[in-house]
């Protein structure tokens, strides 16, 4: 996944209000979504 796709996932998470709802809309598991959000946070710390 690209950083842009991860940012879109984050925006959808904020809009949906929960990991469950966002994961359903993205068609992935909550665990996969959580990893994408964590990757964004880690990328931000290393920048």
Residue 2 CA to residue 16 CA, distance in Å, equals 21
Gap between the Cα atoms of 6 and 37, Å rounded: 7
pLDDT in tens, the chain (47 residues): 688 999 999 999 999 999 999 999 999 999 999 999 999 888 776 66
pLDDT confidence of residue 45: 64
The overall pTM is greater than 0.85: no
Structure tokens of 35? 């990893």
Whole-angstrom distance, CA of residue 23 vs CA of residue 46: 26
pLDDT at 11: 97
């Amino acid at each position: 996944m690209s950083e842009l796709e991860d940012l879109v996932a984050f925006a959808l998470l904020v809009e949906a209000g929960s990991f469950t709802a966002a994961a359903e809309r993205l068609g992935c598991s909550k665990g996969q979504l959580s990893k994408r959000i964590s990757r964004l946070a880690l990328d931000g710390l290393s920048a």
